[in-house]
Chain A
Amino acid sequence: MTDVPPPLNSDDDIAGTPRWVKVFGIIVIILVVLFAILHLTGHGLGGHAS
């Protein structure tokens, strides 16, 4: 964090949520859903009690 933050003046900054954040969010949602499905269907990693 030594660099100074970029100024708020480009079109990308004003446009709203950047594309990389959306892609990142989609990947996170996929991973969370996958994790939930694996656990709910009993194909998880065995849980803490096994």
Chain B
Amino acid sequence: MTLRPGQRKFTLTAHVTFSVGWLGAVAGFLVLAVAGLTSQNAQTVRAAYLSMELTGWYLIVPLSVASLLTGLIQSLGTTWGLFRHYWVLIKLLMNLLASVLLLLHMQPISRIAAVAAATTLSNTDLRGVRIQLVADAGAALALLLVAVALSVYKPRGWTRYGRRKQREERAALQP
């Protein structure tokens, strides 16, 4: 499957939009997580965790899935391939890891949002989870920044599979 130039531009635009949107949403999520952990205002704390649940389920999760899907289409539909270049492969693994960890961590986010909606959280309530949310969001932000850098710099390096496929294709083209 090879994308035509117009299709390639379209999927690239979609992939960049979803990926950078994901990055921005996680940055906002981190701000809310810090506010929820450190604010002395009960309403701010409650609003932060309720917003985090909404942002997580309706923005970050869809963006992560869309970024993964458009990235797969983009790599499989061009000569870059999915397993031929280290930077593409590493980005795929990072995207998968971030998406899986995100889905795993949506449960505690929903739990803390439910508690925040029902009661007033004190500084010590669910403190471990709240600190973990800050750390997770920070780690996710760092991971996505590395992914952006990889996409822009595209550091050279063929995988063993990529080198083999390239040689096979060259051999097939020679008379």
The interface of chain B, by Cβ under 8 A from chain A, is 8-9, 12, 15, 74-75, 78-80, 84-86, 90, 107-108, 126-129, 131-132, 135, 151, 154-158, 160, 162-163, 166-167
Contact = CB atoms under 8 A, between A and B. Distances in A.
Nearest to B150: A24
A14 B163 contact: yes
Interface residues of A, number: 23
Interface string A10-22: 1011101110110
A13 B160 CA distance: 10
Interface of A: 1-6, 8, 10, 12-14, 16-18, 20-21, 24, 45-50
Contacts of B80: 1, 5
A1 B157 contact: no
B128 A17 contact: no
B128 A24 contact: no
A3 B88 CA distance: 13
27 contacts: A2-B8, A2-B12, A3-B154, A4-B79, A5-B80, A5-B84, A6-B156, A8-B158, A8-B166, A12-B156, A13-B156, A13-B163, A14-B163, A17-B157, A18-B156, A18-B157, A20-B157, A21-B86, A21-B157, A24-B90, A45-B131, A45-B132, A46-B127, A46-B131, A48-B132, A50-B126, A50-B127
B12 A1 contact: yes
